[in-house]
Amino acid sequence: MHAELRPLIFSVAYGMLGSVAEAEDVTQEALLRLHRTTTPVESPAAYAVTMATRLAIDELRSARRRREMYVGSWLPEPLVTADPAHDPAEHVAAAQRLSTALLVMLERLSPVERAVLLLREVFEYDYPRIAEIVGRSVENCRQILARARTRVHEPRSRFEAAPQRHDELVSAFLDACRTGDLAALEKLLAEDVTFTGDGGGKVASLAVPATGRQRVARFLLGLFRQAHAAGLEVEAVPVNGQPGLRVRDRNGATAAVMSIAVSGAGIAGLYSVLNPDKLRHLQPFDAVR
């Protein structure tokens, strides 16, 4: 049933929702509608993207109240693509396009603003196509995108750096955290670095993000000391196409996933997901689908 479209449709749905389970539901429904349609479809991909985007807009509108009541900071569910043999192709495709930092910024937008910005800047659709998908005029879509860019007001380059720079920074970051070298760790962090934790009220986490090189560095060293004392294993893995860390307990279950946003100034953002509900798709019994 148009299985070749799954990576694209999932990427659109995940970019809209930031939830793996919800994106999979939207993907399945969009492909089911494509399969069941009785009218001729000139472009199955265009039809499925339209369905997925509209379904995701509706889901976001209904989820807004839940997110407003969420305990602590809300972060997207992470996509860890460390094992190509076991990671679903659609997850890999989405991760390559949608960094955690981008998804966090998109949370500032309304559902339609989010759709227009994603379709234009991430998936590179032209305005007439976007207008058709969201049911607005071309001119209105241009205005929506301009408004969305203003609301996000975070230049993408702030979170961009060469891949080699990523590897070097993450390696040095892990070494400094494991050895407790505060001075070395501070040198790796941007002056305005931010650490955001998402425990969802189910796991202890920061109530509000921590900001600033010294505060974040001290907090990180405390976390690594706690992890070592608890016998947790920390490994470097790709998270949403960017550097990241996965924390496993003694049974091999994923206890936390941290995404690391790197800029020319160093490590600019750290996003740690601890809410077990957001890590279900990463647990051992879900590894093979």
Angle between helices 20-36 and 89-97 (to 10 degrees): 110
pLDDT reading at 289 higher than 60: no
Cα separation, 268 vs 99, whole angstroms: 13
Contacts by residues 17-22 (CB-CB < 8 Å, ≥ 24 positions apart): 17/56, 17/59, 17/60, 17/63, 18/75, 18/76, 18/77, 18/103, 18/106, 18/107, 19/76, 19/77, 19/278, 20/77, 20/79, 20/91, 20/281, 21/77, 21/280, 21/281, 22/59, 22/63
d(CA 133, CA 63): 21
Whether 265 has a pLDDT exceeding 90, the answer reads no
| 165 vs 209: which has the higher pLDDT | 209
Q: Measure the CA–CA gap between 109 and 116, rounded to whole angstroms.
A: 10
Tokens of 71: 């305990």
pLDDT of residue 288: 39
Q: Convert the pLDDT of each residue in 103-126 to its tens digit.
A: 999 999 999 999 999 999 999 999
Predicted TM-score (pTM) of this structure: 0.91
Average pLDDT over residues 5-31: 96
* C-alpha to C-alpha distance for 112 and 16, rounded to whole angstroms: 10
Given a cut of 80, is residue 32 above it in pLDDT? yes
pLDDT: which is higher, 69 or 131: 131
Q: At 268, phi and psi to the nearest 5?
A: -100, -25
Would the pLDDT of 286 be above 50? no
Q: Regarding predicted confidence, which is higher, 112 or 170?
A: 112
Residue of higher predicted confidence among 255 and 3:
255
pLDDT band at 287 (very low <50, low <70, confident <90, very high): very low
Tens of pLDDT along 195-232?
999 999 999 898 899 999 999 999 999 999 999 999 99
Q: Tell me phi and psi for residue 195, to 5 degrees.
A: -110, 125
Q: For residues 176 and 181, give the distance between their C-alpha atoms in angstroms, rounded to a whole number.
A: 5
pLDDT of 1 above 70: no
- Quote the CA–CA distance of 5 and 48 in Å, as a whole number: 8
pLDDT bracket for residue 285 (50, 70, 90): low
Q: What is the mean pLDDT of residues 181-188?
A: 97
Give me the pLDDT at residue 85, please.
62
Task: List the domains of the chain with CATH numbers.
Answer: 3-156 (1.20.140.160), 158-286 (3.10.450.50)
Tokens (6 digits) for 59: 């889901």
Q: Return d(Cα 148, Cα 141) in angstroms, integer.
A: 10
pLDDT-above-90 percentage for the chain: 78
CA-based torsion, 176, 179, 182, 184: positive or negative: negative
Within 13 Å and on the Cβ side, how many CA atoms surround 132?
11
